[in-house]
Structure 1
Amino acid sequence: MSETRTFKVWRGDNGDGELVDYKVEVNEGEVVLDILHRLQATEAPDMAVRWNCKAGKCGSCSVEINGQPKLACMCRMSTFEDGEEITVTPLRTFPVIRDLVCDVSYNYEKARQIPSFTPDPDLEPGEMRMQQADVERPQEFRKCIECFLCNNVCHVIRDHEENKEHFSGPRFLMRATELEMHPEDTADRRMIAQDEFGLGYCNITKCCTEVCPENIKITDNALIPLKERVADRRYDPLVWLGSKIGLRKEGADTPIVPNTKPGPANG
């Protein structure tokens, strides 16, 4: 069974744009991305829409639908009221390239700044051992499809342009947490998360968790534990004392602090 619905789609580029009304056929079981494709095929062949897998796993089709950041391929038309107008706009936080396509290169620049996994160089292949609990704890974070909806709604990025250079956003602070929780990673990312990735800017509003299509508990399971670890590193008196009594490389100006990562019980 089909019906005609009104779509308001933002059309324009980084200079200017407007919402354009379209009357379009909608069929049972379709998602918003289906409708955008129908518009491209019938009324707006020059409409720019980014997409890839159409299965909620690539994160490419991130847009704002009726003001809510969502994946167009996972937003079913059956979730709207009968006769409700549907407004589709690009992500507000990132510069528009054209129509519904944004320049999300900011996120890839931040990704490159995260120090990569750093195993013990003395371990031979096959010698690394992990407890199942250590595997399961950061496994949730690996579900991330990099749709960047969490970074899009983060007010530190969206509302404070001056902070963007110094803030990695919830997606990449979560990545830092994932590596920090890995028992076979020897790097200490606690202070770099605070001083270079802007962890202190996060005030745990949980808006990033609310929009995550993979239902990752970004705030509770990543950002808060990372803040706790930073507090332990910065304010633990034993760590401070150790840095003062000779835990330095010869000739170095900064203390070398052992990477004593807390286990699952202390997270």
Structure 2
Amino acid sequence: MSYQASFRVWRGDEAGGDLRDYRVEVNEGEVVLDIIHRLQATQAADLAVRWNCKAGKCGSCSAEINGRPRLLCMTRMSTFAEDEVITVTPLRAFPVIRDLVTDVSFNYTKAREIPSFTPPAGLGPGEYRMRQVDVERSQEFRKCIECYLCQNTCHVVRDHEENKENFAGPRYLMRIAELEMHPLDAADRRDAAQDEHGLGFCNITKCCTEVCPEGIHITDNALIPMKERVADRKYDPIVWLGDKLFRRTR
């Protein structure tokens, strides 16, 4: 069974643009990305959209559908009423290149600022030992497909361009938490998380968790525990005294 759906798609580039209306055929079982492809094939051959796997694993087709950050390939048309107008716009937190394609290089810059995994000195290959509970704890964070929906919906980035220089965003604060929680990572990342990557900007509204297509509990399992570690490090008087008496660095 097919029907004609009403779509409003943002068209333009860095200089500006607007929403344009289209009527596009929809068939049973299709997702929004299918409709965007049909729109390209039948009415708007020059429509720019980024995509790759169409399986919800590459994170390329991130956009906003009716104002909510989502993956085009994982948003089924059956979730909308047939007479509903579906609005598709580019990610708002990042500069537009053209149409639905945005410049997400901000995220690559933040990724490069985080020091990589640092094993203890003298630990040879094959000598890594971890408990299963530690493996499972960080494995959740490794499900991230870097779609940057969490980065886009975080109001610290989305609504305050001036914060980008000093705020890594939930995706990369989660990366810092993953490394900090790794029992074999020798680096102490707590001060850097607060002072260099802006952990204090996060006010745990859980908006990043709500849009994660992989269902990662970014706020509860990464950001809040990282805030607790930073608080212990910086503000717990007993920890402070222990550091002074025993010259501990961790």
Give, in angstroms, the shift of residue 240 of structure 1.
2.5
Cross-structure match for 1:229: 229
The equivalences for 1:82-231 within 5 A come to 82-231=82-231
The equivalences for 1:5-154 within 5 A come to 5-154=5-154
Cross-structure match for 1:264: none
Contact 2:173 2:223 (8 Å CA) reproduced = yes
Matches of 2:69 and 2:162 in 1, distance apart? 23
Matches of 1:101 and 1:55 in 2, distance apart? 19
Matches of 1:115 and 1:239 in 2, distance apart? 25
**Secondary structure at the residue paired with 2:233?**
helix
Matches of 1:212 and 1:218 in 2, distance apart? 8
Give, in angstroms, the shift of residue 136 of structure 1.
0.6
The CA RMSD measured in Å over matched residues stands at 1.2
Give the counterpart letter for 1:16 in structure 2. G
Give the counterpart letter for 1:119 in structure 2. P
Cross-structure match for 1:258: 249
Contact 2:199 2:227 (8 Å CA) reproduced = yes
Aligned residues: 250
Once the two structures are aligned, what percentage of the paired residues are identical?
74
Give, in angstroms, the shift of residue 189 of structure 1.
0.4
Cross-structure match for 2:240: 240
**Secondary structure at the residue paired with 1:73?**
helix
Give the counterpart letter for 2:234 in structure 1. R
Q: Where does structure 2 lack aligned partners over 5 or more consecutive residues?
A: none
Mapped pair 1:4 → 2:13: no
TM-score (norm 2): 0.97
Contact 2:243 2:249 (8 Å CA) reproduced = no
Give, in angstroms, the shift of residue 258 of structure 1.
2.9
Matches of 1:78 and 1:114 in 2, distance apart? 41
Contact 2:3 2:82 (8 Å CA) reproduced = no
Give, in angstroms, the shift of residue 235 of structure 1.
1.9
Matches of 1:57 and 1:96 in 2, distance apart? 23
Give the counterpart letter for 1:45 in structure 2. A
Matches of 2:171 and 2:109 in 1, distance apart? 12
Give the counterpart letter for 2:104 in structure 1. V
Q: Where does structure 1 lack aligned partners over 5 or more consecutive residues?
A: 248-256, 260-267
**Secondary structure at the residue paired with 2:21?**
strand
